[in-house]
Amino acid sequence: MIPGFDTASHGIDALVGADSLQPWMQAGIAILLLATISWIANWIAKRIVLGLILRVLGHLPFDIRASHIGAIVARLSNIVPALVIQIGIGAVPHLPAWAAGFVQSLCAAFIILTIAIALSGGLNLLNELYQRRPDAVSRPIKGYVQVGKLLVYAAAAILIIAALMDQSPLLLLSGLGAMAAVLMLVFKDTILSLVASVQIGSNDMVRVGDWIEMPQLNADGDVIDIALHTVKIQNFDKTITTIPTHRLITESFRNWRGMAESGGRRIKRSLMIDQNSVQFLSDDATASLSRFGLLRDYLETKQNDIRSWNGRKAGCHIVDRRRLTNIGTFRAYVLAYLQARPDIADDKTLLVRQLAPGEYGLPLEIYAFATTTAWSDYEGIQADIFDHLIAILPEFGLRLFQRPTGLDMWALTEAPSALASVGR
């Protein structure tokens, strides 16, 4: 018998008429009275106490009700009727001891579960309040919140089992040592993900909103969610790729955040020049190219330098003298053209260089940075540059290299017949 309820038991006996009623009727009436008392306690807790708390929260300067504190308090209010039943069940007359003990254990388990759910709601509240911070998008704590929930429910499960078995939780915990290997196997992915989440957060490897590229997992897009077990990536075709968190530690990936933060995006593309079109510039060709405003200073400086050098080598044959080439002049034009464009960054690397010649021609590579990282704007800038360069290439007597097409083959087959008809 629980202390303090002997008097209540005598009162219930007197109220139900212990001398005139059967024991089962006395127990039934007492249980009905206990249920009524627990209902009244629940009504008071939810209608009066909870309503008062919510009104107090409503007058605070920040919106706490929107943060689900009201739901947490409402969940905790369910403990009141359970406590009334747990304590009052011992005062029910003629109730078997095993039945009273079972009800008390059941109420204790319900109270533990309710507290665990309330703590889980508190962790959700913590995550919601954290998300109001300016840096919450780039540094989420969702993974840590999930770990906290896992620990809360694991502890709640041990306490509930201990309460239902009427045993000490320490007895159950001592048995967990023998199950450590099994638990390590069952929670292997969770442990790996937890370690990966800590490393990702501490090393600032990935943030929500980053553009990452992981070809081996068909992921190429923006990170939209970082959780304990998975990282969700929305690809540019609007599909969603889900990656296990620990794969970001064990495998390589490319993060384009540095490009976005730099404010410029790299242009690295080559024009394949037909090497058969490379030649020295004649005087007439040099005079013709002098009409390009971007080349005037270059041509004047280069011609003066060449005349000076050749003057010191007056006895040399013409083939040993320095002369302007169309490919070198075109390279100088491309550099001046890029420097004159306002959408090309002048504070970053800007190169126009030749790569090693190959079977597909002489690569003339442009290495520059656009002043924007927006994808559509970047592609427009890059296309506009190469549109212009490809169109102006014949002015320098140069040709692009490309493999023969069907039209080229047709021209080769039609040329002999055309010449034959002219001869006739």
User: What mean pLDDT comes out for the span 8-12?
Assistant: 46
Say whether pLDDT at 383 is over 90: yes
User: What mean pLDDT comes out for the span 135-160?
Assistant: 79
Say whether pLDDT at 374 is over 80: yes
If one compares 212 and 140, the residue with the highest pLDDT of the two is 212
Q: Pull the structure tokens for residue 307.
A: 């005349």
CA distances from 248 to 197, 205, 214, 228, 381 (A): 9, 9, 9, 12, 33
Q: Residues with Cβ < 8 Å from 164, sequence gap 6 or more?
A: 105, 106, 109
Say what the pLDDT of residue 63 is.
Answer: 57
% of the chain residues with pLDDT over 70: 82
Structure confidence at residue 8 as a pLDDT band (50, 70, 90): very low
Say what the pLDDT of residue 68 is.
Answer: 62
Say what the pLDDT of residue 9 is.
Answer: 45
Conformation bin of residue 94: beta by default, left when phi > 0, alpha when psi is -120 to 50: left
Say whether pLDDT at 138 is over 70: no
Say whether pLDDT at 360 is over 80: yes
Structure confidence at residue 106 as a pLDDT band (50, 70, 90): confident
Parallel, antiparallel or unpaired: strands 265-273 and 362-370: antiparallel
Q: Residues with Cβ < 8 Å from 102, sequence gap 6 or more?
A: none
CA neighbor of 76 nearest in space, from 34, 52, 127, 110? 110
If one compares 89 and 212, the residue with the highest pLDDT of the two is 212
DSSP β-bridge partners for residue 353: 365
Say what the pLDDT of residue 317 is.
Answer: 65
pLDDT digits 0-9 by tens, 26-80: 777 878 888 888 888 888 887 777 777 777 766 665 555 545 666 777 777 788 8
- Domains 201-262 and 265-279+325-406 alike in fold: no
If one compares 418 and 111, the residue with the highest pLDDT of the two is 111
Check the CA dihedral 45-46-50-51 and report its sign. negative
Domain 201-262, what fold? SH3 type barrels. (2.30.30)
> Buried b / exposed e across 200-237, counting CB within 10 Å, b at 16+?
bbeeebbbbebbbebeebebbbebeebbbbbbbbeeee
Instruction: Give the integer Cα–Cα distance in Å for 75 and 61.
Output: 24
Domain ranges of the chain: 6-186, 201-262, 265-279+325-406
Using N-to-C axis directions, what is the helix angle for 69-77 and 97-130, rounded to 10°? 170
Say whether pLDDT at 278 is over 70: yes
Q: 3.50.50.60, 3.30.300.210, 3.40.50.150, 3.30.70.100: which CATH number matches 265-279+325-406? A: 3.30.70.100
Say what the pLDDT of residue 273 is.
Answer: 95
Over the chain, what is the mean pLDDT? 81
Predicted TM-score (pTM) of this structure: 0.55
Say whether pLDDT at 15 is over 50: no
Q: Which of 96-100, 125-129, 263-267, 411-415 has the lowest mean pLDDT?
A: 411-415
Q: Which of 5-19, 118-132, 334-348 has the lowest mean pLDDT?
A: 5-19
Q: Which of 191-195, 278-282, 415-419 has the lowest mean pLDDT?
A: 415-419
